[in-house]
């Protein structure tokens, strides 16, 4: 939905207040700890950091990219691979500019912008607390004007109005413009869905809270087309499907809640919208939304393109414009929720190290399915060449099957801590017994249980453990 329409909801204002609270009372610093861990361990970096960064753009580092990719794979598995009624498309971020006229984004995708007359800072009017300038504290602003959030660019070398194009603010519109093509080429029968994962861009006025609100982000969306009249039933079904997907990734139920948009605050296209909110360290805020977009988009594109976007029902011999249910998920917001949910600190630590047993230990209890590194291979000590050689052999054996990490630096306790901190579910220790008996220790991150497994059975054993619920 357009932020302008979303503004009047209590969720939004609650979130904004919490933004400020975040600065005063950083909720036991969880957010700062996540940001710092993300940087330190290669999950997420500030984009263009060497130039001082660029606001609201983020780089996913080596582990962050793997994590994000695993989340997307799970999404594809759940909604495309396992179902028979949803097809995937992959389309450019720039669409024909008429798209945005038809969809209503050119007119409606706006936020109210004001400028402080004293310090000239620019803010979203609805983000101001007590109508006070967050920079200088003055209360004197210019009248608000509607600011369109779409990034503008030009196609080709001529920079005039007839060459303007926009970076898409949502992936959804391609699913409407490709409706006939996908339906006919795949002979799809209602109800069916068209899915896409891709980048979207919004020139947000107020950014912040790490990757929660970025100017470039990734969305995973489904446009699920249904017969008019069946839309309400499918809407309910999709709210459940969506929530279950998030819960199955390991998010705690008590950290999720639903927020239903009030009728008067609905987007121009929406008959009903429910957000699933997550309890981020800065407060409850929208993680994802499910909307009943009716037949608005298909009708609009039919009107603007002159091409009929309708469905011919072979059973009833009727032709009609399907309704559409849209579950829309921000991958980055989900990734942030997963990091927050998985982060645990264990006072004094649970793994002894040679240095201080009193240090707090961080364990990232990420679901095995999405953990970026699945197995770590550790020789018990590094100064025994035969152990190191054997550990490297084990590492090479596992590498074709799993994302693995080899680590020989520091005490074994330290190394366990390092891999717990990145959420690696399994660790293999190659010790003196390995040389004698050909088995290794397999340690489980969560139970801390250690079992001996024959080297030749390792791949199978780990695969089975990764499949276990």
Question: Which residues would be at the binding site for ligand ATP (CB under 6 A)?
Answer: 1, 3, 6, 12, 202, 204, 213-214, 217, 219, 286-289, 328-330, 332-333
CA–CA gap between residue 413 and residue 374 (Å, rounded): 18
- The residue among 214 and 441 lying less far from ligand ATP, judged by its C-beta, is 214
Smallest distance, Å, CB 102 to ligand ATP? 17
Question: In the complex, which residue's CB is closest to ligand ATP?
Answer: 330
Smallest distance, Å, CB 172 to ligand ATP? 9
- The residue among 148 and 288 lying less far from ligand ATP, judged by its C-beta, is 288
Smallest distance, Å, CB 144 to ligand ATP? 17
Residue 56: CA count within 13 A, CB half-sphere: 14
CA–CA gap between residue 421 and residue 62 (Å, rounded): 15
CA distances in angstroms from 19 to 26, 128, 149, 286, 426, listed in the order given: 10, 11, 21, 14, 37
Smallest distance, Å, CB 254 to ligand ATP? 20
Give phi and psi for 151, each to the nearest 5: -75, 135
- The residue among 1 and 377 lying less far from ligand ATP, judged by its C-beta, is 1
Cα diameter, the chain:
79
- The residue among 14 and 227 lying less far from ligand ATP, judged by its C-beta, is 14
Provide the sign of the torsion angle of the four alpha carbons 224, 228, 230, 232, taken in this order: positive
- The residue among 103 and 288 lying less far from ligand ATP, judged by its C-beta, is 288
- The residue among 11 and 183 lying less far from ligand ATP, judged by its C-beta, is 11
Tokens of residue 278, six digits: 């997550």
CA–CA gap between residue 337 and residue 206 (Å, rounded): 20
CA–CA gap between residue 128 and residue 174 (Å, rounded): 35
Smallest distance, Å, CB 413 to ligand ATP? 38
Pairing of strands 375-379, 426-430: parallel
Tokens of residue 468, six digits: 């276990």
Residue owning tokens 């927020």: 259
Smallest distance, Å, CB 93 to ligand ATP? 15
Smallest distance, Å, CB 5 to ligand ATP? 8
Do the Cβ atoms of 271 and 292 come closer than 8 Å? Answer: yes
- The residue among 166 and 217 lying less far from ligand ATP, judged by its C-beta, is 217
């Amino acid at each position: 939905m357009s932020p302008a329409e979303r503004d009047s909801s209590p969720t939004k204002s609650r979130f904004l207040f919490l933004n400020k609270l975040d600065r005063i009372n950083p909720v036991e610093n969880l957010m700062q700890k996540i940001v710092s861990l993300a940087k330190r361990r290669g999950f997420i970096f500030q984009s263009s950091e060497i130039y001082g960064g660029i606001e609201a753009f983020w780089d996913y580092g080596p582990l962050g990219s793997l994590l994000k990719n695993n989340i997307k794979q799970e999404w594809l598995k759940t909604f495309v691979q396992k179902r028979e009624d949803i097809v995937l498309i992959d389309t450019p971020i720039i669409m024909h500019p008429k798209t945005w006229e038809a969809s209503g984004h050119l007119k409606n995708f706006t936020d109210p912008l004001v400028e402080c007359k004293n310090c000239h800072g620019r803010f979203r009017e609805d983000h101001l607390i007590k109508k006070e300038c967050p920079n200088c504290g003055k209360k004197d602003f210019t009248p608000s004007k509607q600011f369109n959030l779409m990034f503008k660019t030009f196609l080709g070398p001529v920079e005039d109005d007839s060459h303007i194009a926009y970076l898409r603010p949502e992936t959804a519109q391609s699913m409407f413009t490709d409706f006939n093509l996908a339906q006919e080429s795949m002979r799809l029968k209602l109800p069916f869905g068209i899915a896409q994962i891709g980048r979207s861009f919004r020139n947000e006025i107020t950014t912040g809270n790490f990757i929660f609100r970025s100017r470039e982000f990734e969305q995973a969306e489904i446009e699920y087309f249904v017969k008019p009249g069946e839309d309400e039933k499918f809407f309910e079904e999709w709210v459940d499907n969506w929530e279950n997907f998030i819960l199955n990734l390991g998010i705690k139920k008590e950290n999720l809640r639903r927020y239903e948009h009030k009728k008067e605050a609905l987007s121009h296209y929406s008959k009903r919208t429910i957000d699933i909110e997550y309890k981020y360290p800065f407060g409850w805020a929208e993680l994802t939304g499910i909307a009943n977009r009716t037949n608005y988009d298909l009708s609009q594109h039919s009107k603007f393109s002159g091409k009929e976007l309708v469905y011919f029902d072979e059973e009833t011999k009727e032709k009609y414009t399907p309704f559409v249910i849209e579950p829309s998920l921000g991958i980055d917001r989900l990734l942030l929720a997963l990091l927050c949910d998985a982060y645990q600190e264990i006072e004094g630590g649970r793994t002894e190290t040679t240095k201080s047993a009193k240090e707090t230990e961080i364990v990232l209890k990420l679901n095995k399915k999405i953990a970026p590194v699945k197995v770590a291979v550790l020789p018990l000590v590094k100064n025994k060449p035969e152990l190191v050689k054997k550990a490297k052999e084990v590492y090479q054996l596992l590498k074709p099957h799993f994302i693995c990490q080899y680590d020989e630096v520091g005490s074994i306790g330290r190394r366990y801590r390092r891999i717990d901190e990145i959420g690696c579910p399994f660790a293999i220790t190659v010790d003196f017994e390995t040389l004698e008996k050909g088995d290794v220790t397999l340690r489980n991150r969560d139970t801390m249980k250690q079992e001996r497994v024959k080297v030749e059975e390792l791949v199978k054993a780990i695969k089975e453990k990764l499949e276990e619920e």
